[in-house]
A and B are shown apart, each in its own frame.
Chain A
Amino acid sequence: AQSVTQLDSQVPVFEEAPVELRCNYSSSVSVYLFWYVQYPNQGLQLLLKYLSGSTLVKGINGFEAEFNKSQTSFHLRKPSVHISDTAEYFCAVKHGSGNTGKLIFGQGTTLQVKP
């Protein structure tokens, strides 16, 4: 079965510092990869997604992620974080193509940005 592992449950970082949130997935023939963000007391919203093509994917709010097939990773990065980036971040993977198929989520990483 497909699985997703987020290697850090919490990541504390100072404002304006760079950050990387790590995500590894179990290998499959074809996968789609996602990062979602959940701000306090809100639902999840899509940050970015990799479907095909360029392995470097840019998302909203200055975030980007790199798909690395050989290492089965999809790490999320931001060069300079803001207090407002404090949230929980979820990596997710979806098998195959088409409209069906379910998203499998990682355990989540809490990003704590300190002033």
Chain B
Amino acid sequence: DVKVTQSSRYLVKRTGEKVFLECVQDMDHENMFWYRQDPGLGLRLIYFSYDVKMKEKGDIPEGYSVSREKKERFSLILESASTNQTSMYLCASTTGTSLFFGPGTRLTVL
């Protein structure tokens, strides 16, 4: 069965902290994505990666960076967390047309 896991379901951080969100998939997928989900805005793409060490900006990359050192792992980094980054973060992977999503990490920045 397809599996995408995210390191935390809930996370609380303080303004200015560096935050790491980890995502791991066990399906040998080339493509991985990070979205954030906010009420009334749907899912917005932050960054995506087509291969190891490759990354491309999505629609809202400001304030974020990513790392993909291994095919199965895609990390989202908040360099200096701010309150407007309080959100649900969803990781997804695919090797074809359909995305498989992780359960999400609900991040609160105080």
Contacts and interface: CB of A to CB of B under 8 A. Distances in A.
B74 interface: no
Contact of B42 (A32, A99, A102, A106): A106
Contacts of B101: 36, 43-45
A46 B98 contact: yes
Contact of B43 (A49, A51, A105): A105
Given A51-B97, A99-B95, A42 B103 contact: yes
Among A51, A100, A102: residue with most chain B CB under 10 A? A102
Nearest to A110: B39
B102 A43 contact: yes
Contacts of A9: 40
A49 to B, nearest CB: 6
Interface residues of A, number: 25
A94 B97 contact: yes
Interface in B1-54: 4, 30-31, 33, 35, 40-45, 48, 50
A1 B61 CA distance: 17
B42 A105 contact: yes
Interface residues of B, number: 26
Nearest to B40: A107
A43 B98 contact: no
Given A90-B43, A105-B43, A108-B42, A43 B103 contact: yes
Contacts of A11: none
Nearest to B98: A46
Interface string B71-107: 0000000000000000000101011111101111000
Contacts of B35: 105
B30 A99 contact: yes
B47 to A, nearest CB: 10
A30 to B, nearest CB: 12
Interface of B: 4, 30-31, 33, 35, 40-45, 48, 50, 58, 90, 92, 94-99, 101-104
14 contacts: A43-B101, A43-B104, A44-B92, A44-B101, A45-B101, A49-B97, A51-B97, A90-B43, A99-B31, A100-B50, A102-B48, A103-B45, A104-B45, A106-B42
